[in-house]
Structure 1
């Protein structure tokens, strides 16, 4: 295994920085995340990477938390990609519409070509009870969707999950169609998992699984949100949930993901475990 990877990403999930006392019941240490981010960036700066992805929940709450958290990334020598998590919207209502811009995102959801791979960045908070102000149509849609999931006894019928709009689904299908036609391998980045089934899954998990199994070029879904982390392979796509950085007082959690033609290698740091996932599509 001496060949070079075709895509290499640094991965950070759920730093949830805030100037807060720790939540000992959940073992979350919000202030410690600045030092953990610095450690991760020091490691990333010593590696050849195509980008560093933060998979949501950069902050735990409060608009003012973004400044110190984002300041750490100024030392990063690689391209930094951010996407929103549920905690990134735990800000005053007047700031809700500015979260994507504050994270440097060109749009709520978008795609880009990196090292020959189509990176698809989703916004799983688009339809939710926290990312838009009260009275917004998408908030009303979220209420209806959550009620339906609750009535069905769905394990992911949780107020801290979210879903995609029909417009985002339409856009995603178009991006995947073009990538398939152009022979581009795809990596999807989202805050929320869709597999294996658990309480943290995106409200649209099954719809997305049904959709993605029709695209043989989708190599991986990378996400956070479930701080315990997990990995499962479905229909040849690797669904990888990374462990939360905010958890524990003194143990970090981050990773480097290297995609080769025949496998995906994860080099874990701290609580994140290393593993090799073979390509089976």
Structure 2
């Protein structure tokens, strides 16, 4: 088995997201060939610590699991790979251990940030986004007739904004109001979108529609079906997404058990957490066809065939 020292010696410098020029649809080799494919990883949640009592969250094992997953993904004709948040579990130094492993990936890579990615101490909160090579925690990119929206569910939360940020007060008010209603997702480890980000999301959906693009959203937190791990503003987000007929799917992590829901032919897939077991991984590849998404699960992750309009 690969150990941490071997990985660090081989990995080199920390991985950064490089400018992405998108991708064009390639000629299909057959009628059954996908338009394009990409990879998904959720919740490596690495930290150099023993597992949680009770036999879950094998934090340190995510180094070799990620290494193995990336080697498998390198063998596939993918346009990109996305990690759906919780790259680490805690402590700033954990980034120095896991980010270099991504350097071996042969495909473009995109990060979504999760709640645990901000468990680094006040002095480092402003540096998290820059540390993983991003200019902003929410952004979009295009390719293959699709627009991918990467959203930031930590935007208005009780843990991601630094101490002097007015979003902390807004987050406290939102959480208190949700708690009063008895909502199951009124949890301090969840978050929500700022008004600015919500407006950006509306604009990007409309822009994609005007360009004839379908939309897939990548986030850390689930929004549907109802669950204790959902974003505080999940209902508003679902209403916005499903009001656009070019919205195809929402992919997320956060709930390590995984989940799935659909509203018509619009899909919400919660991918399982890589960190959960001592020796079984969890990641997936998605083949995009004109009429469906074919998800091929590896390890714990389930395979699914999702019809799209």
Deviations 1:63-90 (A, max 9, x none): 1101111111110000010010000000
Deviations 1:69-126 (A, max 9, x none): 1111110000010010000000011111111111222312111112221010000000
Q: Is the 8 A contact 1:84 1:123 kept in 2?
A: yes
SS of 1:186's equivalent? strand
Would you say 1:185 and 2:214 are equivalent positions? yes
Tell me the distance in 2 between the aligned counterparts of 1:125 and 1:30. Answer: 22
RMSD: 1.2
SS of 2:133's equivalent? coil
Deviations 1:46-72 (A, max 9, x none): 000010000000000011101111111
Would you say 1:80 and 2:109 are equivalent positions? yes
Aligned length: 280
Tell me the distance in 2 between the aligned counterparts of 1:135 and 1:148. Answer: 22
TM-score, normalised via structure 1 length:
0.97
Instruction: Could you tell me which runs of 5 or more consecutive residues in structure 1 were left unpaired when the two chains were aligned.
Output: none
> Counterpart of 2:47?
18
Q: Is the 8 A contact 1:216 1:236 kept in 2?
A: no
> Counterpart of 2:287?
258
Tell me the distance in 1 between the aligned counterparts of 2:146 and 2:77. Answer: 16
SS of 2:155's equivalent? coil
Deviations 1:158-214 (A, max 9, x none): 000000000001111110001011110111000001011000001111001111111
Kindly name which structure, 1 or 2, has the bigger radius of gyration based on alpha carbons.
2
Tell me which of 252, 264, 269 is aligned to 1:240: 269
Tell me the distance in 2 between the aligned counterparts of 1:132 and 1:223. Answer: 21
Tell me the distance in 1 between the aligned counterparts of 2:167 and 2:122. Answer: 15
Tell me the distance in 2 between the aligned counterparts of 1:66 and 1:51. Answer: 21
Would you say 1:54 and 2:80 are equivalent positions? no
Tell me the distance in 1 between the aligned counterparts of 2:57 and 2:124. Answer: 25
| TM-fit CA distance, 1:18 | 0.6
TM-score, normalised via structure 2 length:
0.88
Would you say 1:36 and 2:59 are equivalent positions? no
